Structure 1
Amino acid sequence: MFRKRHAALALTGALCLVTTACAGSSDGKGGATAAAADSPGYPVTIENCGQKETFDKAPDRVAVMNGASVAEVSTLLALGLGDRIVANQQTYGMSEVPGRAKAIKGLPTGNVKQNDAFDIPREAMLGLRPDLVLSTTAYGFDGKNGFATRAQLADVDARSYVSPQGCDQDTSHMTIDDSYMLLRDMGKVFHVEDKADKLIKASRKRVAEVEQAVESEKKPDVMVLFSNMSMGANEFSSVAAKGIYNDILAKAGGTNVFESVSKTSFADLSKEKVAATDVDALVVISYNDPHPDAYAEKLLKEFPQWPAAKNHEYVVLSDSAYLGPSNDIAVDRIGRMLHPDAF
């Protein structure tokens, strides 16, 4: 999932919606037809990255592009829509949600031969005959990269959707609210708004409970990084600087100690820079790393001067730290790690 593609996406921007989702074209192609009369709740028109699209029924042939994410596939699964997926390229290998990693692994891939960006090339995408294509950012619809464009998809009556903050591929401003927007949009597209609202309400409740518990606590300086992941030239090139990670940290009663060192979502840091920074706690995000705890322990031994090392303060997360339906889990686990006496 990450590979070189993740570095390109993250450093230039693992999403610009207005308030909704995305689908067919605004010229009425695939829009309100006679089928709409047989589909209660339709047609549905949404705006996504400045493009209006209309659904006349719930999609039933969904292609999920890689995009260095699991947000889209996890959101569909959380809404009970896994049976609509005909080709999923998103994988993570692990999840805080019981059964999710196994469910993702069991989804059809469409037998697609991925391109050099580890994603679905144009001809393969068109051959899948999707009625909805989901991409984490606009990168997945860039013809220069060998992908089917949104216009080409519309020509074959397929809708398309770019996830929140993905229009300009700059994820540095992403927050948990973008995860809720993704849920709402998919809820509207598939006419399962009640389920989406229920998930959002439960998540907001859990996050609010953590915020209330830690509101009077001192905010420790936290380092967020991916285990055994290289995305740049320096030894510590997978350090989160901006984006949804910071919103999660703030709600959990912490602050990102490396927020100011990069204008993009990730920082590329030398060992010397990391060693010279006081780190109170570690959040290690694991992608397909079978031993993330060992990685965390290695860092604590490597930098014994850190308060985090002296107090053995770290937590390992996976998909809950990303855009997606499970950010409340990350907030809860980080909050309990940073402020155990508050719970």
Structure 2
Amino acid sequence: MSMKRPAATALAATLCLLTAACGSSPVDKAGDETTEAAASKAGYPVTLDNCGQKQTFDKAPSRVVVMNGASVAEVSTLLALGLQDKIVANQQGYGMSEVPGRAAAIKKLPTGDVKLNEAYDIPREAMLGLRPDLVLSVTRYGFDQKNGFATREQLKQVGAGSYISPQGCDDDPSKMTVADSYRLLRDMGKIFNVGDRAEKLIAASEKNIAAVSEKVKGEKKPKVMVLFSNMSMGGNDFSSVVSRGIINDILARAGGSNAFEDAAKTTFADLSKEKVAATDVDALVVIAYNDPNPAAYAKKLLKEFPQWPAAKNNTYVTLSDSMYLGPSNDLAVEKVAKMLHPDAL
């Protein structure tokens, strides 16, 4: 999830490369051939074209750093693929999840004991000190030198790969769909040579979503307001209202539509109270981001706007990580569909 971030301190020094970080032990020619044969047998090398850069992996990464980026998609994807033991530092977390045990599993992951910068993420020197062999970032922002982060080139020079999640190349998630969640799964499956696991997760998700979509096919599509609980991201009263992106794809598959899809061309709309009051809202989806009681916020909104059909029918649902990029979009589709079309499901 892309949100406004405070400015980070500019880089204070150039990168100092350590020979020990880049070097390798000498081996004889026979050893080289044996290693190459083993890598080939295991499915390596693997090369991905990621945001215009070729990233090649000769083996599965074992020291992965997951940057914050106000997301949970990347760490959840690694957990879904059973790769938690590869993570040496994780800065992501929603505080809750639709997947039983996921929030607790994320909380248990190592953080690398890193002092974060003003953008609540890992600065360059700390990143290099973690000795990663793969760094995951939600967008290009996480590799931006002017914000104090290690660049992709600097990471490459110390033997670390880098990966920017789908639709993060231009830091514009407004075009994101459920297919991007599958792409993230597939890419991680390729990098870690667990493509079979990724395909099983994708197939199960596609099957679940197709079953729900078939049941609500032909039903009237209620207008849904989606926003983050108790979160301010702009100057108006309602600045965390979702306008575009993967959430619209989820709503459509669940038999609904976004009441504020035309309110902005970006992912989020910054709306006045008057604009919100003048819009018919048939149902409410409140997304919790580290909010322990999103239901209280939903009820507050329904009370504040009694003219909404959603308020008259008490139609709302609270969700968290399944509503955004990640491996669990099918859970969001199902829960939203049950709210909108209880008789169909």
TM-score normalised by L of structure 1: 0.91
**Aligned equivalent of 1:225:** 227
Match of 2:170 among 168, 171, 174: 168
8 Å Cα contact 2:166-2:184 kept in structure 1 = yes
The alpha-carbon distance between structure 1 residues 299 and 152, as it changes in their structure 2 partners (threshold 3 A), is same
Match of 1:318 among 295, 320, 341: 320
Determine the C-alpha separation between the residues in 2 that align with 1:211 and 1:309.
25
What amino acid does structure 1 have at the position aligned with 2:4? A
What amino acid does structure 2 have at the position aligned with 1:73? V
8 Å Cα contact 2:5-2:119 kept in structure 1 = no
**Aligned equivalent of 1:194:** 196
Deviations 1:181-203 (A, max 9, x none): 00000000000000000000000
Determine the C-alpha separation between the residues in 1 that align with 2:57 and 2:292.
41
8 Å Cα contact 1:234-1:269 kept in structure 2 = yes
Determine the C-alpha separation between the residues in 2 that align with 1:287 and 1:169.
20
Q: 1:254: Cα distance to partner?
A: 0.4
Determine the C-alpha separation between the residues in 2 that align with 1:159 and 1:144.
20
**Aligned equivalent of 1:239:** 241
Q: Tell me the secondary structure at the aligned position of residue 244 of structure 2.
A: coil
Matches within 5 A, 1:45-194: 45-194=47-196
Q: 1:334: Cα distance to partner?
A: 0.1
8 Å Cα contact 1:45-1:52 kept in structure 2 = yes
Match of 1:329 among 328, 331, 337: 331
Match of 2:4 among 1, 4, 7: 7
Q: 1:7: Cα distance to partner?
A: 2.6
What amino acid does structure 2 have at the position aligned with 1:58? A
Q: Tell me the secondary structure at the aligned position of residue 48 of structure 2.
A: strand
Deviations 1:42-76 (A, max 9, x none): 11111100111110000000000001100000000
Percent pairwise identity: 72
What amino acid does structure 1 have at the position aligned with 2:37? A
Q: Tell me the secondary structure at the aligned position of residue 247 of structure 1.
A: helix
Determine the C-alpha separation between the residues in 1 that align with 2:320 and 2:116.
24
Gaps of 5+ in 1: 10-28
Q: Tell me the secondary structure at the aligned position of residue 6 of structure 1.
A: coil
**Aligned equivalent of 2:9:** none
Q: Tell me the secondary structure at the aligned position of residue 182 of structure 1.
A: helix
Q: 1:36: Cα distance to partner?
A: 3.8
**Aligned equivalent of 1:300:** 302
**Aligned equivalent of 1:275:** 277
Determine the C-alpha separation between the residues in 1 that align with 2:69 and 2:292.
22
Deviations 1:130-181 (A, max 9, x none): 0000000010000010000000000001000000000000100000000000
Larger radius of gyration: 2
What amino acid does structure 2 have at the position aligned with 1:7? K
Q: Tell me the secondary structure at the aligned position of residue 341 of structure 1.
A: coil
Gaps of 5+ in 2: 7-22, 25-31
Match of 2:251 among 249, 252, 256: 249
8 Å Cα contact 2:91-2:121 kept in structure 1 = yes
What amino acid does structure 1 have at the position aligned with 2:38? D
8 Å Cα contact 1:224-1:284 kept in structure 2 = yes
Q: 1:8: Cα distance to partner?
A: 4.6
Q: Tell me the secondary structure at the aligned position of residue 338 of structure 2.
A: helix
How many residues align structurally?
319
Determine the C-alpha separation between the residues in 2 that align with 1:63 and 1:192.
19
Determine the C-alpha separation between the residues in 1 that align with 2:48 and 2:291.
38
What amino acid does structure 1 have at the position aligned with 2:210? A
TM-score normalised by L of structure 2: 0.90
Q: Tell me the secondary structure at the aligned position of residue 274 of structure 1.
A: helix
8 Å Cα contact 2:137-2:164 kept in structure 1 = yes
Determine the C-alpha separation between the residues in 1 that align with 2:55 and 2:205.
29
